[in-house]
């Protein structure tokens, strides 16, 4: 599956609102809006729901995390092969809530490439974004942790964090794409993220905690549709 941009990536975190059967329900809602609008909307369900969700939708599905081990005697670990076998197209790594070490990101990015899996490496500062870009993942997602879950978008609170991240990535490894995360809840936030030079957004509570999932996702993608 080839990933098209702009990309809206919805992280289900470990919210119970999107756990078990509701994970599939949310994924199918995202799929409905994606089909109606032609835009790429991807989901990252909880680890336990990964195969269950990926087996039942056709939009891109990501793992929220992966370990740096190959298949084998690794009870309780998540391998890239398991992610692939589950039907996901790739994986997030290094989210602020689940950081891994740089040498592990290096191993995971290299192995993911061999397995044709997409890597989305989360970062917190322009310097860390630059560092992670040097490891050559497909996507880096810059998310100042202090804004996560606040509803205050990074594009408003700290646009310079995004623009300097975009610049550093262009200089160090222009093949790497940049997503913008933290505090995203409205379509205007998404439009602002794209204006700052990113290819899309990573968000969680803005959708998962919304009362009406379809409405929340439609509002997110509207400004992109108008732009197109």
Please give the annotated binding residues for substrate, written as ranges: 11-13, 148, 183, 204-205
Structure tokens given for 121: 């490496």
Cβ 212 to a second copy, closest distance in Å?
20
Going by the DSSP 8-state scheme, the letter that residue 61 receives in this structure is B
Q: How far is the CB of 4 from a second copy (least distance, A)?
A: 24
Query: Which CB, 21 or 226, lies closer to a second copy?
Result: 21
Candidates 51, 95, 188, 214; catalytic one: 95
What are the structure tokens assigned to 204, written together? 């969680």
Q: Angle at Cα 97 formed by Cα 56 and Cα 142, nearest 5°?
A: 85
**Catalytic, out of 143, 146, 188, 222:** 143
Query: Does 143 participate in catalysis according to the annotation?
Result: yes
Residue 223 Cβ, how far from a second copy at the closest point, in Å? Answer: 26
Q: For residue 183, give the DSSP letter.
A: S
The residues, ordered by sequence, that sit 6+ positions from 138 with a Cβ below 8 Å of its Cβ are: 3, 90, 118, 119, 120, 176, 177
CA distances from 18 to 12, 47, 75, 83, 164 (A): 6, 12, 25, 19, 34
Residues of the shown chain interacting with a second copy in the complex, contacts defined by CB under 8 A: 11, 13-16, 19-23, 46-52, 55, 63-65, 69, 71-79, 81-88, 92, 94-103, 105-106, 123-125, 127-128, 130-136, 148-149, 168, 172, 204-205
Beta strands in 124-164 (DSSP E): 139-142
Please report how close the Cβ of residue 222 comes to a second copy at its closest, in angstroms: 26
CA distance 160 to 24: 37
Instruction: Give me the active site residues, please.
Output: 95, 143
């Amino acid at each position: 599956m080839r990933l098209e941009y702009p990309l809206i990536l919805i992280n289900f975190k470990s919210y119970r609102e999107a756990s078990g059967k509701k994970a599939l329900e949310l994924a199918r809602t995202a799929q409905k809006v994606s089909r109606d609008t032609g835009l790429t909307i991807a989901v990252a369900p909880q680890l336990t729901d990964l195969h269950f969700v990926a087996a039942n939708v056709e939009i891109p599905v990501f793992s929220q995390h992966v370990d740096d081990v190959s298949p084998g005697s690794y009870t309780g670990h998540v391998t890239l092969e398991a992610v692939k076998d589950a039907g996901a197209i790739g994986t997030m790594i290094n989210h602020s809530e689940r950081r891994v070490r740089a040498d592990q990101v290096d191993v995971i990015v290299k192995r993911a490439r061999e397995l044709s899996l997409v890597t989305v490496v989360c970062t917190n500062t322009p310097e860390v974004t630059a560092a992670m870009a040097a490891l050559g993942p497909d996507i880096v997602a810059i998310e100042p942790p202090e804004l996560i879950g606040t509803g205050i978008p990074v594009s408003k609170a700290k646009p310079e964090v995004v623009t300097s991240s975009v610049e550093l990535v262009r200089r160090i490894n222009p093949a790497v794409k940049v997503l913008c995360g933290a505090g995203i809840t409205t379509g205007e936030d998404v439009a602002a993220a794209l204006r700052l030079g990113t290819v899309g957004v990573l968000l969680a509570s803005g959708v998962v905690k919304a009362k009406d999932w379809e409405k929340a996702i439609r509002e997110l993608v509207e400004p992109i549709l108008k732009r197109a």
